[in-house]
Structure 1
Amino acid sequence: MDSDIQLPWQQERVIRHSQRLMQSFYYWTGRSLLYANGSPQEIAQALFDAPFVLVSHGTQSDPIFNYGNRRALQLWELSWEKFTQMPSRQTAQEVVQEERNRLLSDTATKGFSNFSGVRITSTGKRFEIQDGILWNVIGEENQMFGQAAVYSKCKFIT
């Protein structure tokens, strides 16, 4: 297997994106996403291996995931390659799509939002997210790169 697929945090674009995730989170919330020191690659690895779920999607009209840390990949039961080809809308069942769309829109306007909600894994298992934060991912010149979400609390629903 290709080492870039096994270790996505070693890819230059993922290292840059990890920096954007960290900087954007701090910009909107005034808090650090992760307390980590070292080179950009070491920080990207720490973010990938962090003890919380972290995902982000791009700015497409039907946004595609462009990042998922190890916890996210385990939760959704997908490889990095498959996860980063999946539209983020597929993580929510149709009955909660309207709520999810409202959250994304509100966040686009405000910069960040707190959220809770039910999502679904790639194999159909439902889980509830509690105390999540969704924020706009921006670049050095405030250009929009998409949105990201982080949470530590989630439980499967039977």
Structure 2
Amino acid sequence: MPLYSDPAFFQLLADSHARLLGRPLVPQDIASEDAAEWLYEHAPFAVLAHNTAADPVFIYANKTAQRRFGYDWEEITRLPSRLSAEAPNREERQRFLERVRRLGYESGYKGVCITKTGERFMIEEATLWQLIDDGGKLHGQAVVIPRTRDI
């Protein structure tokens, strides 16, 4: 079963987001049985998640993310997440990762990303959080990208 239709994975995304950020990932007026489908098919913002591998690979990307990055599900879920973005300088990246590790999340991130065809675009106001289950196990990281703009 692909993760976009896996109720347990949706709960991990939604619960870890709510626990760390104190707000829901999906609007509360959407019925719980429709929430996973809404996030994948209809959300007006991009959501991506990667695993905990040494070179993390995307394990989830909703349709908004797939359209913006130019990959379909099969392609993006084989892509190392580092290949979707221009590498920020090491010091800036290290500070960012330390904040996420310390706080469990970081909001307001912006950076340059790259589509499948090599086009560059800016992500703005992104929020990255740790995918931590109720037992405290880390499963990866996820990001919500509410806005992008062409460069």
**TM-score, normalised to structure 2's length?**
0.88
Give ranges in structure 1 of 5+ residues lacking alignment: none
Deviation sequence 1:6-49 (CA, Å, 0-9, x none) = xx633x3xx2211111111111110111123232xx22101102
Q: In 2, distance between residues paired with 1:101 and 1:91?
A: 18
Match of 1:106 among 99, 108, 117: 99
What secondary structure does 1:136 align onto? strand
Which residue of structure 2 aligns with residue 151 of structure 1? 145
Deviation sequence 1:50-109 (CA, Å, 0-9, x none) = 110000101111100010000000011111011011000001224x26344542343122
Which residue of structure 2 aligns with residue 93 of structure 1? 86
What secondary structure does 1:75 align onto? helix
Which residue of structure 2 aligns with residue 78 of structure 1? 71
Give every structure 1 segment of 4 or more consecutive aligned residues whose post-TM-superposition deviation is greater than 4 Å: none
Q: In 2, distance between residues paired with 1:143 and 1:101?
A: 22
What secondary structure does 1:124 align onto? coil
Which residue of structure 1 aligns with residue 19 of structure 2? 27
CA root-mean-square deviation: 1.7
* Matched residue type, 2:142: A
Counterparts in 2 of 1:59 and 1:137: CA distance versus 1, 3 Å: same
